[in-house]
């Protein structure tokens, strides 16, 4: 739709999307420090303001380009500014919301707090495409208008809520990244890469069974992504909210479930493919709060959330680098196998964390 409305090529839009995502790398750790210094609520409000401003500029740029009111370079410049604002401001959203939820929940409900944020993200992934499809019936630009209005509604809801106090200077000193934090960040990177490779590998894997029937493949991919979102919600409501497992047990379970799910997706039967996708998504939903809570034992909450967000972005970037390499050397059907390899590395890194923490516990005794 955006390509048709603006007459900009798909590669230009891909570059714009990548620009916004890559700016998460430098900005997420910086926002993590601001969360500790200012408190979570101001950072969330700033992020929502940036979200609204970025999509307002994006909608204006698209509207001006579609009506030929400005030249292509000027319109592209507006879109670039919009994506820069998005990358620099929206990178604070999830870490700040997570820390705010953690502080409001208290020490005994930390996993439940993270599950609340994760379930909100999963609901967005599940219902977001449906909302966009409904808005497209009204007008091709209507989804962008919805993205401008949504942060305004969120701001109106959040303004009356009580914020959290900034962390004291002593706690903020615990925000510096240390070498013993790297295994947790590598887990975050590998999980993001695993899920991204799986999602990009869905269509090529299904092409073997549907003989290149594009409509049937698209239909199956939509169903698979819905199954993945439902499985993620199931993990959050059945395991994370009741706090049935410790963070370390969650991390180990996540690696095993992701590996088992991808092994099933390598098989031919379609029912195994669906089951594997659900298992992978269930495991990935367990993994994210696990390594975040474990990292928070070593870093201040805000700093930990910021570095986790950076690691997720690096994982998406690693996936973007691996896709052409794997496709050229092994073919697009090997993307699921590449995701399986990343999941095995996640299992290995989880084992490293388990061994290090077990050794630390034995030393303490």
Question: What is the predicted pLDDT for the residue at 176?
Answer: 67
Is the same domain home to 249 and 307? yes
Q: Give me the percent of the chain exceeding a pLDDT of 90.
A: 43
* Residue 137: pLDDT band with limits 50, 70, 90: confident
Structural domain ending residue among the three candidates 131, 160, 189: 160
User: Taking residues 101-111, what's their average pLDDT?
Assistant: 83
From 247, 257, 314, select the one nearest 282 (Cα to Cα): 257
Q: Are residues 80 and 24 in the same domain?
A: yes
Cβ atoms of 48 and 155 within 8 Å: the answer is yes
Tens-place pLDDT, residues 284-327: 999 999 999 999 888 776 778 888 988 998 998 898 888 888 88
| 1 band by pLDDT with thresholds 50, 70 and 90 | low
Q: Is position 166 within any domain?
A: no
Phi, psi of 66 (to 5 degrees): -70, -30
- What confidence score (pLDDT) does residue 196 get? 92
List phi, psi (to 5°) of 267. Answer: -85, 170
Give residue-wise pLDDT tens across range 175-234: 567 888 899 999 999 999 999 999 989 888 888 777 767 778 878 888 898 899 899 999
Cα–Cα dist 363/79, whole Å: 55
Of the residues 133, 160, 187, which one is the last residue of a structural domain?
Answer: 160
Overall residue count recorded for the chain in this entry: 365
Q: Which domain holds residue 243?
A: 175-364
Within this chain, do residues 40 and 153 fall inside the same structural domain, yes or no?
yes
In which residue are the tokens 């870490």 written?
95
| pLDDT at res. 58 | 94
89 shares its domain with 220: no
Contact 349/186 with Cβ under 8 angstroms? Answer: yes
Q: Which of 110, 125, 160 is the last residue of a domain?
A: 160
CATH number for the domain that contains residue 229: 1.20.1250.20
pTM above 0.85, yes or no: no
Shared domain check, 207 and 323:
yes
Q: Does residue 263 contact residue 340 with C-beta atoms inside 8 Å? A: yes
Q: What are phi and psi of 176, to 5 degrees?
A: -80, 135
Closest CA to 202 of 273, 261, 129: 273
Whether 243 is in a domain gets the answer: yes
Instruction: State the total domains in the chain.
Output: 2
Concatenated DSSP letters of 111-161:
HHHHHHHHHHHHHHHHHHHHHHHHHHHH-TTHHHHHHHHHHHHHHHHHTTS
Chain centre distance of CA 357: 27
Rounded average pLDDT over 346-357? 93
> Of residues 65 and 211, which shows the higher confidence score?
65
CB 243 within 8 A of CB 113: no
169 in a structural domain: no
Shared domain check, 53 and 181: no
SS3 category, 7: coil
């Amino acid at each position: 739709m955006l390509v048709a409305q603006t007459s900009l090529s798909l590669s230009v839009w891909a570059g714009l999307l990548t620009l916004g995502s890559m700016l998460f790398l430098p900005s997420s750790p910086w926002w993590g420090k601001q969360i500790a210094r200012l408190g979570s609520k101001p950072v969330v409000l700033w992020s929502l303001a940036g979200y609204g401003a970025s999509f307002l500029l994006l909608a204006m740029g698209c509207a001006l380009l579609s009506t030929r009111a400005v030249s292509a370079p000027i319109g592209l410049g507006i879109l670039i500014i919009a994506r820069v604002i998005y990358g620099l401001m929206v990178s604070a959203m999830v870490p700040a919301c997570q820390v705010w939820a953690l502080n409001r929940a208290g020490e005994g409900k930390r996993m439940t707090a993270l599950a609340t944020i994760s379930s909100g993200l999963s609901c967005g992934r599940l219902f977001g495409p449906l909302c966009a499809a409904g808005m497209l019936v009204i007008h091709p630009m209507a989804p962008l208008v919805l993205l401008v209005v949504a942060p305004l509604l969120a701001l109106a809801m959040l303004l009356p809520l009580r914020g959290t106090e900034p962390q004291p200077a002593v706690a903020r000193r615990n925000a510096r990244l240390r070498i013993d934090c790297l295994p947790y960040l590598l887990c975050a990177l590998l999980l993001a890469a695993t899920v991204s490779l799986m999602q990009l590998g869905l269509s090529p894997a299904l092409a073997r069974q549907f003989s290149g029937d594009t409509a049937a493949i698209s239909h199956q991919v939509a169903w698979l992504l819905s199954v993945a979102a439902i499985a993620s919600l199931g993990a959050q409501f059945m395991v994370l909210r009741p706090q049935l497992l410790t963070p370390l047990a969650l991390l180990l379970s996540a690696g095993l479930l992701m590996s088992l799910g991808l092994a099933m997706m390598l098989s031919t039967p379609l029912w195994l493919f669906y089951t594997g996708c659900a298992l992978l998504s269930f495991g990935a939903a367990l993994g994210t709060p696990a390594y975040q809570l474990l990292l928070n034992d070593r870093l201040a909450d805000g700093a930990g959330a910021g570095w986790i967000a950076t690691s997720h972005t690096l994982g998406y970037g690693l996936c973007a680098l691996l896709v052409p390499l794997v496709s050229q050397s092994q073919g697009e059907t090997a993307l699921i196998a590449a995701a399986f390899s990343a999941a095995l590395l996640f299992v290995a890194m989880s084992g490293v964390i388990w061994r290090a923490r077990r050794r630390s516990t034995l030393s303490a005794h």
